[in-house]
Structure 1
Amino acid sequence: MLRLTTPSGPLRVLALGAHPDDIEIGCGGTLLRIADRPGTSLRGAILTGSPERAAESAAALPAFCPGAVLESGTLPDGRLPGHWSEVKEYLHDLAGRFEPDLVLCPRVDDAHQDHRLVGRLASTVWRDVLILQYEIPKWDGDLRPPTHYVPLSEDQARRKVDLLNTHYASQLDRDWWDDELFLGLMRLRGVECKSRYAEAFHAAKVTLDL
């Protein structure tokens, strides 16, 4: 396995989610890692969510990466494809206000229509930026072999789960929401990249400056 490292120094990271908790479920461990890079800035944006759920996200993201700023939209959950133009316009507006080195977003082939749209439009808005598409486990069974991994320490993996449980209390009664699911997926991805734990991503195009 070829191990690539990012240049040292601060990163400007943009994390996109269709719903509150998408970002933290999909790449919370990665956010904990990049938070250790001095000068790193993180902006998050979610497209849907009630005021209560948006408040959960606004508190959660800075817990993963201190200083993070979150924007919350009010489009209807589960109906983003019907609001294609509004999503596209919002993302272009965001691109005009924040120039990232890295974009984290849902997979373009995610089984959930809202996730899928955000992922697909991200690649049309940020054409010259590295885009890593995170995975979200769900009953649809849409996980597939990833292309890139971010190794995590056991402390980072368990802290991710602790923060999810702390900041998303509204989701604790979901039948799929438990420590075993989150840790199990990170453990599996860790095995695949010879780490204890890891988060996995998909990338359509990556330019290597060797």
Structure 2
Amino acid sequence: MLLCAGALLVFLWPNVSRRMRRLLKRSDRMRRILSGSFASLFALNALAVVWQVVGHHELDGFTQAASVVTVFALVVLLMFALLARLHLERPVDVPHKVLVVGAHPDDLELACGGTIARLVDGGHFVHGIVMTHGTNGGDREVRLQEALDGAAFLGMHNVEVHDLPDTRLETVNSEMIAIVEKAIREVEPNLILTHSAHDQHQDHQAVHLAVLRAGRHHSNILGFESPSSTREFNPSIFIDISEYVDIKIEAIQLHRNQSGKPYMTPERTKGIASFRGGQAKCVYAEAYEPVRYLIDSGPIEVPTAGGPQR
């Protein structure tokens, strides 16, 4: 009965379900959780034994409760350990560093949330930059927190959320260039992901130009697809997110302040990923336009990168 109740809690309560499924994709966190849980269970049983032996007590309620909790917890932990083993990505031998740059708090999740989660689970380091709090699109403080929550959920190692003027980023081009240049110096990324040149949102265009200027000496820059990308967006690099599309959807749903926007729906997200997956000959994919991409120096493996569209 307890096991059934625990299973229902995990799979029916959205917040628990979301975080548990994401934890199953993070081997480092799962190891810490399992280690801590086993240590706590060991301490609980040791305390029960001491209580029984030193106090010469019979098998009383406390000891029985400790045994029942221990057995239940061990079953649950072993179940999750098995699931984690089934779902975890195999880390790469040589991890790379990736810099992702967006204009607004939800841009990274919408454009490359699946890619970020896959890179993180593959052992790569991902540093995010968001240029604004999205003040003109919703509550400033709420959107700031949602940006932090989304980055943490995807597993980004760091995220900077700046407070540059929303919808007027073209007026602070120098400031954005300085921000990106500083990140390039400090992170030394092997790959930079940012907005495409083919995007009708003025802030996205401004961020694209700033990144190109800041990364003028960088070998690997890819432009991602956003809901405001134009018909001229013509990707030739695709990342398979077939195992990550649900994580992308859940990361987007963390931006509840924007939940009324039509492009925030799971149906729209999955539809775009399915379309790009069809182009890439996989189930779900995220698409990128290369500004330039040097195959042997970036974190994308040649089979993953895809080829010409058919």
> Which residue, 165, 168, 171 being the options, matches 2:255?
168
CA deviation map 1:58-110 (0-9, x unaligned):
11112112x52111110111000011122122222222222111111110231
Higher relative contact order (CA 8 A, sep 6+): 1
Q: Does 1:195 align with 2:282?
A: yes
Shift of 1:144: 2.6
Aligned to 2:44: none
- Provide the C-alpha distance between the structure 2 equivalents of 1:143 and 1:25, rounded to a whole number of angstroms: 19
Q: Secondary structure at the match of 2:221?
A: strand
Letter in 1 for 2:128: G
- Provide the C-alpha distance between the structure 2 equivalents of 1:26 and 1:149, rounded to a whole number of angstroms: 12
CA deviation map 1:111-148 (0-9, x unaligned):
1111111112212222223111111023x754632111
Residues 171 and 54 (structure 1), Cα distance of their counterparts in 2 relative to 1, 3 Å cut = same
- Provide the C-alpha distance between the structure 2 equivalents of 1:13 and 1:76, rounded to a whole number of angstroms: 25
Shift of 1:180: 1.2
**Is contact 2:239–2:287 with CA below 8 Å preserved after alignment?**
yes
- Provide the C-alpha distance between the structure 2 equivalents of 1:33 and 1:151, rounded to a whole number of angstroms: 9
Letter in 1 for 2:101: L
Q: Secondary structure at the match of 2:263?
A: coil
- Which structure shows the higher strand fraction? 1
Shift of 1:156: 1.0
- Which structure shows the higher helix fraction? 2
5 Å-filtered alignment, 1:80-99, equals: 80-99=169-188
- Provide the C-alpha distance between the structure 2 equivalents of 1:121 and 1:129, rounded to a whole number of angstroms: 16
Aligned to 1:123: 212
Which protein has the larger Cα radius of gyration, Structure 1 or Structure 2?
A: 2
Q: Does 1:15 align with 2:105?
A: no
Shift of 1:8: 4.6
Residues 147 and 103 (structure 1), Cα distance of their counterparts in 2 relative to 1, 3 Å cut = same
Aligned to 1:56: 146
Q: Secondary structure at the match of 1:149?
A: strand
| TM-score normalized with structure 1 length | 0.87
**Is contact 1:104–1:131 with CA below 8 Å preserved after alignment?**
yes
Moved more, 84-93 or 197-206: 84-93
> Which residue, 100, 125, 132 being the options, matches 1:41?
125
- Provide the C-alpha distance between the structure 1 equivalents of 2:255 and 2:94, rounded to a whole number of angstroms: 31
**Is contact 2:219–2:293 with CA below 8 Å preserved after alignment?**
no
Letter in 2 for 1:130: N
Aligned length: 199
Q: Secondary structure at the match of 1:35?
A: helix
- Provide the C-alpha distance between the structure 2 equivalents of 1:8 and 1:124, rounded to a whole number of angstroms: 32
5 Å-filtered alignment, 1:177-196, equals: 177-196=264-283
Aligned to 1:3: none
Shift of 1:24: 0.9
Q: Does 1:75 align with 2:164?
A: yes
**Is contact 2:190–2:220 with CA below 8 Å preserved after alignment?**
yes
- Provide the C-alpha distance between the structure 1 equivalents of 2:284 and 2:210, rounded to a whole number of angstroms: 30
**Is contact 1:81–1:117 with CA below 8 Å preserved after alignment?**
yes
Letter in 2 for 1:156: Y
Q: Percent identity?
A: 28
- The unaligned stretches of length 5 or more in structure 2 are 1-91, 134-139, 297-301, 303-310
Aligned to 1:158: 246
| TM-score normalized with structure 2 length | 0.60
